[in-house]
Chain A
Amino acid sequence: MVRYIPRKIIVDTKVRDSLLTDNVLNNLPGVPVEYVADASTAIDAIRGGKDPLCVGKKVLLLTENRGRFLKPCPGTKEYICCGYQILNFATNCNLECSYCILQSYLNNPAMVVYANAEDMFAELEDKLSQDSESIYRIGTGEFTDSLALDHLTGFAKLIVPYFAHKGNVILELKTKTDNIGNLIDLQHNGNTVISWSLNTEEVAQREEFFAPSIDDRIDAAFKCQKVGYRLGFHFDPLIYYTGWEEGYQKTLERLFAKIDTRNVSWISMGGFRFLPELKPVIQKRFPQSKIIYDEFVPGMDGKMRYFKPIRIEMYSKMLEWIRDYDPKLCVYLCMESREVWRKVFKEDRVENSENLAKILDNTGDNK
C-alpha cells in the first residue's frame, strides 16, 4: 500500500509546538510547510476552487480542535445504534473509496489532524474519571481512517498505551490499511481492538482505490493477532451485485484461514447507505462505479438504503456463513431497525440501542 504523503502542510501556529506537529514535520522532510495564524483563508480557497475534494486531500492541515474531542456517535433514533463514542482526532481520508460518506459530509476538504493532543488527553482524563463504572467503547475511525496517517502522526503510540491503563475503556482503531507498524510493540493490555473494514476483493478493487487488497488487510490483522490485540471486522458497506455471495464467502474463507475466531471481539454488517447528495458526487468522481444504481429507498434517517428485503437477504446469508465458522461470534448490525434485527437473527434479542451497547460492552471487555 502506498502511504499518504501530502503535497503541502499547513500548520496552524497554535499547534506549532505540539508533539503531533513535530512528528509530522519530522516524518515529511522536504514537503513545503506554511504556518498560518488562521487556516480558514486557505480552507476557503480550496473549498471555492476547482475540484475541492481532490485538491483538499493533498493538503495536510495541522490545527487545533476547539470543540470536544469525544462525542457520541451521531446515530439516529429510527435505527439501533451501537452506542459508540467518537474520538475526533482527525478528519478526512486519502483512501478514495467511491462510496465514502465523508465526500458529502465534511465541510473542510483538507486532511485535518487535530494536533492539540494535550487538550484531548485532558478531556479524556476528565470524562473517564467522572464515571468509572460505565464502559466506554471509543473509536477514532468515524471521520477518518484510524491508521491511514499513523506513519506520519504516530498517534497510535500515544493513544494505545494511554488506554492500556484504563479499566473502563475499549478503544477501537478502525482501518482499511496495513499501516500497523506503530502498533506492534505497544503495550495495549487488551484494551485496544484493531478492526478492519472488509469487503469482497471485487469491491475492494473497484471501489476502494487506494486501500490495500483484502489479503493485505487480513495479513495485517494476523500480525496484530500475533501480538495479542483483540480484533474486529466490519462488513460495511455490504455491496449488492451479481456474484456478491461468492465474493463475501471468499473473504470470510480467507479471513478465518488466518484469524482465530476467539480473538475476534465483534463483526458488524451494514448495507451501503448514503446521503442523497452523495450520488452526484460519486457520479462525477467515480463515473465507472455502479453501486449507486441499485434499488435504494429513503431511510427513516434521510439516507438512501437498499430496499429492506435486499438488506435482510444479505445480512441473513452473511450471518449464516459467519456462524458456520463460529456460532459464538458476536455479530451485530450497524444502524438497522429492530424489525430487520428480528428478521435476520430470528429472535428479538436487540430491542434498542442500549441493548446493543450492553452486548458490545461485554464482548469487548471479554479479554
Chain B
Amino acid sequence: MGNVEYKQLDLKSIDLTDTTFVITYGFTLTQLKKSIEKIGILNPPLVKKKSEEQYRIVCGYKRLLVCQDIGIEELRCAVMGQNIEDKDTFLTSLYDNLSHRALNPVEKSITISKLQKYYSGEIIVKNFLPLLGLNSHYSVLDRIKPLSGLDVKIKDAVVDGRIDEGVAAKFLNFSEKDRELIFQLLSALRFSKNKQNEVIDNFYDITKKDGCSISSILDAKELRDILADSSLNIPQKGSRVRYFLRKLRYPKIVKAEKDFLEMKKNLNLGDSIKLTPPPSFEGDKYCIEFQFETLDDLEENLKRIDSIKQNKEFKRIIEG
C-alpha cells in the first residue's frame, strides 16, 4: 500500500468510537488479548488523520480495543495519506477483513450500508455482493441490508447462530417493542431455525389477519399458563406454544383436525387400525391401514372397518 507513513501514536489520539471505516461486529477479545500480552502487536493498525489531533481507525479495530483494555498508551501505527479518498480508505478496510476471514451476516449488512455511501445499488449488487459470498441479486441486498439496523440482542443472536439470518430479517416487520417480546419468547424456548421461522411467520400473519398486537397475543391466558407451567420442559412448552399460535392462525383447520380425531375415537377402530385423512383434508383419498397375524385377526379388523360405514359423522365427512 503506497502513501503510508509509520508513526508512534498516543492511543488517546485515535478515536476508538469513530467507526466510519470499521465493519467488524460480534467478536470476543480474549484470544487476541492473550496474544498481544505475550508477544505484542506484530502488525501495526492502520489509521487516517481526521483532525489536527485525532486519527480514525481503518484496520486493526480489535487490536486497538485490546490496547485500550490492557493499558497500552503508545503504539506504532501505519498512517494513511490524507490524499486517499474515503471510498478507497473504506475499500482498504473491507479487503483487509476479507483477506483473512469470512464476514458474519451482520458485518455483511454493515458493509452494504457503508458501501451505499459511495456506490449505486446496481454496482453493489453486481460487484460487491459476490465479493461477500452472496448472490448478485437485488432481493439479497434487500434481505441483508437491514440486519445492521436490528437491536443489539438480535444481532448478537444472529452472529452466534441462535437466530437464523432469515428469521432476523423478519424481525424488521415488527416494532421495536414487539421485536423484544418475540425475541424473548424465541430465546426462552430455544426453537430450531425452522420452528423459529414458523413461529415468527404465524405471529406476523395473526396480527395481519386479526388486526391485533403482539402483546395481546402474548397476554393470552392460555399462553401465559403454558409458559408458567413448571411441569413442562422446554420442548413441551415449545410445541404447546406452536399449537396455540397455529390455533389462532388457522382456526378452521385446527378445528377440523380436532373434530376428525373426535370422530375417529367414536368409530371404535381400536389400536390396530389406522385411519388417515388426506393431507390438510385437501385430497379425497382416506387411508385405512392395519396389520394382522391370524385369519381371525383379519376377520375382526374387517368387521370393525365395515361397521364405520354406518357412522353418521364419518358419512358426512366422506359424502358431504
Contact = CB atoms under 8 A, between A and B. Distances in A.
B282 interface: yes
B208 interface: yes
A360 B290 CA distance: 44
A298 B252 CA distance: 15
Contact of B283 (A290, A300, A310): A300
A310 B282 CA distance: 11
B175 to A, nearest CB: 15
A339 interface: yes
Interface in A134-156: none
B282 A295 contact: no
A108 B138 CA distance: 16
A338 interface: yes
Interface string B101-143: 0000000000000000000011001100000000011100000
A337 B138 CA distance: 39
Contact of B122 (A49, A293, A297): A49
Given A300-B282, A338-B284, A295 B250 contact: yes
> At the interface, is chain A mostly helix, strand, loop or mixed?
mixed
Contact of B205 (A50, A51, A78, A293): A293
A48 B320 contact: no
B256 A309 contact: yes
Contacts, number: 54
A312 interface: yes
A50 B122 CA distance: 8
A325 to B, nearest CB: 25
B208 A297 contact: no
A293 B210 CA distance: 9
Contacts of A339: 284, 320
A256 interface: no
Contact of B282 (A52, A297, A338): A297
Nearest to A284: B142
B251 interface: yes
B209 A337 contact: no
Given A49-B122, A293-B208, A343-B320, A307 B138 contact: no
Contacts of B208: 290, 293
A290 B283 CA distance: 26
A154 B122 CA distance: 37
Contact of A298 (B121, B205, B250, B279): B279
A212 B208 CA distance: 27
> Which size class do B's interface residues fall under?
20 to 34
Contacts of B294: none
B138 A308 contact: no
Contacts of A338: 284
Nearest to B320: A343
B209 A290 contact: yes
Contact of B209 (A49, A50, A293, A310): A293
> At the interface, is chain B mostly helix, strand, loop or mixed?
helix
A307 B205 contact: no
A307 B125 contact: no
Interface in A281-334: 290, 293-295, 297-300, 305, 307-310, 312
B125 A295 contact: no
Contacts of B250: 295, 307
B282 A298 contact: yes
A332 to B, nearest CB: 18
B243 interface: no
A308 B282 contact: yes
Given A48-B137, A343-B320, A308 B209 contact: no
B282 A305 contact: yes
Given A294-B209, A298-B279, A300-B282, A307 B137 contact: no
A248 B77 CA distance: 75
Contacts of A294: 209
Contacts of A49: 122, 138
A182 B122 CA distance: 42
B208 to A, nearest CB: 5
B6 interface: no
A51 B138 CA distance: 8
A297 B254 CA distance: 12
A300 B284 CA distance: 10
A307 B253 CA distance: 7
Interface string B207-240: 0110000000000000000000000000000000
Contacts of B137: 48
A166 interface: no
B292 interface: no
A367 interface: no
Interface in A48-94: 48-52, 78
Nearest to B122: A49
B95 interface: no
Given A294-B209, A298-B280, 15 more contacts: A48-B125, A50-B121, A290-B209, A293-B208, A295-B253, A297-B253, A297-B279, A298-B282, A300-B282, A305-B282, A307-B250, A308-B282, A309-B252, A309-B256, A343-B320
Q: Which 3 A-B pairs have the closest CB atoms?
A: A297-B280, A343-B320, A293-B209
12 contacts: A48-B136, A48-B138, A52-B138, A290-B208, A295-B251, A299-B282, A309-B252, A310-B252, A312-B320, A337-B284, A339-B284, A339-B320
